[in-house]
Amino acid sequence: MKKKLLSQLLFGLVLASALSDANACLTTPAPSNILTSLYGWRFHPVYHRWRLHKGDDFRASIGTTVVASHSGTVQTGYSASGGNELRIIGDDGMVTRYLHLSRASVSPGTHVSAGDAVALSGNTGEASAAAHLHFEAYPNGSSVTNPEPLFCNAPTRKSGADTVNGFPILACDPDNGQCDTSGGPPATSSSGSSSGSTGNSGSTSGSTTAAVTDVPPAPTISSFDDMSTNEIFVTEVTKRFSNPDWYQQESTMSTVPLIIEYAHMKALQQYIQFHKSLAHERVETLLAAKLAKKVKRDITPRLERQRMVASKAGSGDSN
Amino acid sequence: MTKKAISGLCLAFSIFCVHAVSAAEPIDVVIYKQATTQPQQHLDQSKENSVLNMDRMLKEQYGSIGQIGSESDPYLKDLYEKSAWLLLNGYPISGGTMIQIARTKPAFKQSLIGPYLVRFVDTLLAPTEDDGDEFGLLKHSQIAKRVLTGLAPLPNRLQMPAQLHVIGKLYHDEIAYQAGLTALKARTPSEAEWSVVKHQLDVVKQAGLPDPIGQ
C-alpha cells in the first residue's frame, strides 16, 4: 500500500515536472518558423550609434496568422516605430510583444492559450522595411532577453547564401596559414540551427572547424533582395492602402519620416512607371512584329506581280 | 664552384624569405600597436571599463555564464580584453577580428565567455528587417560580401590582412584599415596580389558610402 502511494507520488512529480517543462518553452509565433534577423546589439557604421535589436524577426508576409507563444492576457497598442502591436502578459510573468502587425484578431483583455491565433502579421511602423514579425520576450516582465533559445521548436535561420552572414572577416588563423579562402562570410555555428549559414566551414581547415563548432547560435542577416516584384508591390501598396491606421500613423510622423515616406512614394511611383514602360515596350514590339508580318504577307504577292509585269514588258521589248 | 656559390646564394635567399614571412608580427599584435597610436580622444573608454561593460552586457543581454576577467587562458584573456576595448570604443572591425582570431585557437573550446563574444561580434554588423536605409547595415554587408568574394583569389597568409584593410575601409575602422596595410606589407605580397587588394579598395570607394557622422 505504502509502495503504491510512493509510486503514485513519484509519477505525479514526474508528470508535474514534465508539464512545467512543457510550459517553460514558447510556441513559435509565425508559421514559417524562419528567423530572418536575430537579437543583439548593432553598431551603425555611418552614425556610429549602438542599438539593441530587442527581438527576433520571423519571416511572415502580410496577413499571415500569428499565434500566441504562451498563455496569458492580451493587450494591444500602437507605436510610430513598431506599428500595430500586441502584447501577451503571461500567467507566469512572461511578457511577449508582437510588432508590425496588420491588425490584432483578438480583443484586449482576452485570455489566450499557446497556439491560439491572435493577430495578422504586416508591415506597419516606421521601423519596418519589409513585412515580417518582430518578436520580443521579457521573461520576468521587465528585462528583455534573446528569445531564440526559449522556443520549444528551434527556429531555422534564413539562408544567407547571397548575403554576408555575420561578421565580415573570416575566422581563420593567418599565422598558421589556416584560412578559408572561399571569400564568403565567417563560418557560423551551431546547435542544429546553423542551416542558414553559408557553409564556409566546409572548406575551412580542421582546427578552425573544431574551434568554431562549439560557439552558440550566430546570426544570419536579413535581406530584402529575395522579394519578387509582385511582393514588393503588394507590400508597399497594402502598407498604405489596406491599413486603416495608415492615415493616423502618417499624421503622427515627424518631418524626417515624412520626407522619407515622400521619397518612398516617389521611388515606388518610378518603379511602377519603369515596369509600365517595360510592359509598353513589350506591347509595341509585339505590334511591330505583327505589322512586319502583315506587310511581308502583303508585299510578297505585289512584288511577284511587279516582277511578272516587268518580265512581260521585257519580253515584249525584245520582240 | 660557381654552381655551388649559386646554390648557396639561393639557399640564403630562401632562408631570408622564410624568415621574412615568419617574422611578420601576428595580426592581433599589429592591431593593438595601431590602436595605441590613435589619438586618445578616439579611445576614451579605458580597457578596464570596457571589459566591465562588456561583461555586464554579455551577462544581462546574452545570458553569458563566464567573465572576461576569469578566462583561464592568458592569451585568450588578452585578446578578449583588447577586443572589448576596441569594440566599445567604436572600432567594430579591429575588435571583432580579435575574436575571430581567438575562435581559431584550441583553447577557445574550453572558454566560457568566448562563445558569447562570438555571438556578440557575429550580430554586431548583421542587418535586421528594420534596416531599410540606403547607407545602413544592409548596404554595407552587401558590399562586404562583394569585397570578400573579390579577395578570394589571395593566398591564405594574405587573407586576414587584406580583409582587415579593405573591410576596415568599408566600415570606417581606421585602426583595422591601417593595421591591415601594415600586416599586408610585412607579408610581402606580389604585384598581382597588391592589385587584387587595390581593386577591392576601389569597389569600396565607388560604392559612394558616406563618411561617419560626428567624427
Q: What is the reported pLDDT for B185?
A: 95
ipTM reported for the complex, 2 dp? 0.81
For residue A143, give the nearest of B57, B146, B136 by alpha carbon.
B57
Q: What is the reported pLDDT for A182?
A: 39
User: What proportion of chain A, given as a percentage, has pLDDT over 70?
Assistant: 67
Distance CA B163, CA A207 (A): 20
- For residue A204, pLDDT over 60 is answered with no
Per-residue confidence band for A143, with pLDDT thresholds at 50, 70 and 90: confident
Maximum mean pLDDT: which of A78-82, A147-151, A222-226, A229-233: A147-151
Other beta carbons within 10 angstroms of residue A278's beta carbon come to 10
- For residue B187, pLDDT over 90 is answered with yes
Q: Mutate one of A204, A221, A227, A268 to test the B interface: name it (highest B CB count within 10 A).
A: A221
Interface of A with B in 135-164 (CB under 8 A): 143-146, 149, 162-164
Examine residue A254 and say whether the peptide bond preceding it is cis (omega within 30 degrees of 0).
no
- Phi, psi of A33, rounded to the nearest 5 degrees: 55, 25
- For residue A207, pLDDT over 50 is answered with no
Q: Mutate one of A46, A128, A173, A181 to test the B interface: name it (highest B CB count within 10 A).
A: A46
Distance CA B156, CA B86 (A): 25
Other beta carbons within 10 angstroms of residue B185's beta carbon come to 12
Q: What is the reported pLDDT for A37?
A: 84
DSSP assignment of A238-274, as one string?
Answer: HHHHS-TTHHHHHHT--HHHHHHHHHHHHHHHHHHHH
Higher-pLDDT residue of A228, B72: B72
Higher-pLDDT residue of B195, A242: B195
Higher-pLDDT residue of A6, B186: B186
What 8-state DSSP symbol labels residue A145? B
Q: Are residues A211 and B103, on separate chains, in Cβ contact within 8 Å?
A: yes
- Phi, psi of B65, rounded to the nearest 5 degrees: -110, -10
Distance CA A297, CA A30 (A): 60
What residues of B are in contact with residue A162 (Cβ under 8 Å)? Answer: 145
What residues of B are in contact with residue A46 (Cβ under 8 Å)? Answer: 135-136, 172, 209-213
Q: Find cell 554586431 and name the residue.
A: B124
Q: What is the reported pLDDT for A49?
A: 83
Q: What is the reported pLDDT for B107?
A: 93
Interface size between A and B, measured as CB pairs under 8 A: 238
For residue A149, give the nearest of B55, B122, B128, B63 by alpha carbon.
B63
Higher-pLDDT residue of B10, B193: B193
Least confident of A68-77, B40-49, B107-116: B40-49
Least confident of A216-230, B10-24, B45-59, B196-210: A216-230
Q: Are residues B126 and A186, on separate chains, in Cβ contact within 8 Å?
A: no
Identity of the residue numbered B108 = F
- For residue B196, pLDDT over 80 is answered with yes
Q: Which of A130, A143, A171 sits opposite B103 (nearest CB)?
A: A171
Q: What number is the average pLDDT over the span B86-106?
A: 93
pTM exceeds 0.95:
no
Higher-pLDDT residue of A97, A233: A97
pLDDT in tens, A109-142: 999 999 999 999 988 887 777 789 999 999 887 7
Look over chain A and give the mean of its residue pLDDT values, rounded to a whole number: 74
Interface of B with A in 74-133 (CB under 8 A): 87, 90, 92-93, 96-97, 99-101, 103-106, 108-109, 114-116, 118-132
What residues of B are in contact with residue A36 (Cβ under 8 Å)? Answer: 129
CB proximity A175 to B under 8 Å: yes
Q: What number is the average pLDDT over the span A59-77?
A: 92
Q: Is B164 exposed, middle or buried (0-12, 13-18, 19+ CB in 10 A)?
A: buried
| Domain limits, chain B | 26-124, 137-206
Q: Are residues A173 and B121, on separate chains, in Cβ contact within 8 Å?
A: no
Q: What number is the average pLDDT over the span B206-215?
A: 74
Q: What is the reported pLDDT for A6?
A: 52
- For residue B199, pLDDT over 70 is answered with yes
Q: Residue A134's beta-bridge partner residues?
A: A57, A99
> Closest Cα of chain B to A297: distance in Å?
52
> Closest Cα of chain B to A291: distance in Å?
45
Q: What is the reported pLDDT for A260?
A: 78
What residues of A are in contact with residue B90 (Cβ under 8 Å)? Answer: 43, 48
User: What proportion of chain B, given as a percentage, has pLDDT over 90?
Assistant: 61
- For residue A85, pLDDT over 50 is answered with yes
Q: How far from the centroid of its chain's Cα atoms is residue A274's Cα?
A: 25
Distance CA B97, CA B177 (A): 12
- For residue A162, pLDDT over 60 is answered with no
- Phi, psi of A258, rounded to the nearest 5 degrees: -65, -40
- For residue A144, pLDDT over 50 is answered with yes
Q: Are residues B156 and A52, on separate chains, in Cβ contact within 8 Å?
A: no
Q: What is the reported pLDDT for A46?
A: 82
Distance CA A187, CA B103 (A): 11
pLDDT in tens, A15-49: 444 444 445 799 999 999 888 888 889 888 888 88
DSSP assignment of A90-101, as one string?
Answer: ETTS-EEEEEEE
- CA angle A63-A66-A72, nearest 5°? 145
For residue B131, give the nearest of A224, A134, A41, A78 by alpha carbon.
A224
Interface of A with B in 232-261 (CB under 8 A): none
Distance CA A187, CA A180 (A): 9
Distance CA B146, CA A163 (A): 9
- CA angle A188-A189-A195, nearest 5°? 85
Q: Which of B63, B96, B127 sits opposite A37 (nearest CB)?
A: B127
What residues of B are in contact with residue A143 (Cβ under 8 Å)? Answer: 60
Q: Is B159 helix (H, G, I), strand (E, B) or coil?
A: helix
User: What proportion of chain B, given as a percentage, has pLDDT over 70?
Assistant: 85
Q: What is the reported pLDDT for A227?
A: 55
Radius of gyration over every alpha carbon of chain A, rounded to an integer in angstroms: 31
Q: What is the reported pLDDT for A244?
A: 65
DSSP assignment of A38-59, as one string?
Answer: -SEEEE-TTT--EEEE-SEEEE
Q: Is B211 helix (H, G, I), strand (E, B) or coil?
A: coil
Per-residue confidence band for A173, with pLDDT thresholds at 50, 70 and 90: low
Maximum mean pLDDT: which of A76-90, A108-122, A219-233: A108-122
Distance CA A222, CA B131 (A): 9
Least confident of A184-193, B81-90, B201-210: A184-193
Q: What number is the average pLDDT over the span A44-73?
A: 90
Q: Find cell 511611383 and name the residue.
A: A269
Q: What is the reported pLDDT for A8?
A: 57
Q: What is the reported pLDDT for B131?
A: 67
pLDDT in tens, B111-140: 999 999 998 998 899 888 776 666 778 888
Distance CA A71, CA A271 (A): 44
